[in-house]
């Protein structure tokens, strides 16, 4: 089994990104390749596609930071819409636009959501299945990647992560360390490769 795990550079008004911190930890895993993506609508998927050239993966797990969530959120569906709440890192601010013209309005993940939830519950990991990956770059990369692999054996999933204590953000939602989040994600990924 071969897995690609991606994260993002910092964006918005938060100077760090917990997904980038997680990617640094996954670099030592032998079955996992890692990639940091730019938070730029015109570059993000191009960087991913270039990296994927000539490679095959069983799973592509895209990670995103969600500052308003307090637990791991496994996304069920990507929507075919761009409607940015803030500008991306190149200043693009897009509203009410389709990601891919003539594509469906949404594409569901290929991950076994019920099984992942059950495994997490057994291990006392706080996790939820989310029905909305937002309408920003996270949703865009999720939709484009699902679309690219729609007729492939490669399973694509998106997981939003909460902020971690090491980011020094004052919020009552921040309640986990980067090491604990990393260990929890290893369990999630481990359940995929059983």
Please give the positions annotated as active site: 75, 138, 160
Chain-centroid distance of CA 133 in Å reads 9
Sheet containing 127-130: which strands, arranged edge to edge? 32-37, 3-8, 59-65, 155-161, 72-75, 127-130
d(CA 160, CA 109): 14
Cα–Cα distance for residue pair 122/119, rounded to 1 Å? 5
- Of the candidates 194, 59, 82, 79, the one whose C-alpha atom is nearest the C-alpha of residue 130 is 79
**Quick check: 60 and 45 in contact, CB under 8 A?**
no
What is the largest distance, in Å, between two alpha-carbon atoms of the chain? 44
Q: How many residues in the chain?
A: 194
3-class DSSP state for residue 180?
A: helix
Backbone angles phi and psi of 137, in degrees to 5: -60, -35
């Amino acid at each position: 089994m071969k897995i690609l795990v991606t994260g993002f550079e910092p964006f918005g008004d938060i100077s760090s990104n917990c997904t980038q911190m997680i990617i640094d930890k996954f670099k030592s895993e032998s079955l996992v390749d890692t990639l940091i993506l730019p938070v730029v609508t015109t570059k993000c998927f191009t960087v991913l596609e270039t990296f994927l050239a000539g490679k095959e993966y069983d799973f592509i797990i895209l990670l995103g930071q969600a500052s308003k969530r307090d637990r791991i959120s496994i996304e069920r569906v990507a929507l075919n819409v761009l409607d940015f709440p803030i500008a991306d890192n190149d200043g693009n601010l897009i509203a009410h636009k389709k990601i891919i013209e003539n594509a469906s309005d949404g594409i569901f993940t290929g991950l076994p959501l019920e099984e992942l939830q059950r495994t997490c519950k057994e291990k006392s990991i706080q996790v939820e299945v989310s029905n909305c990956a937002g309408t920003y770059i996270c949703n865009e990369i999720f939709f484009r990647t699902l679309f690219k692999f729609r007729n492939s054996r490669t399973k694509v999933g998106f997981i939003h992560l909460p902020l971690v204590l090491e980011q020094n953000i004052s919020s009552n939602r921040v309640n986990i360390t980067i090491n604990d989040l990393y260990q929890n994600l290893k369990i999630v990924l481990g359940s995929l490769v059983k």
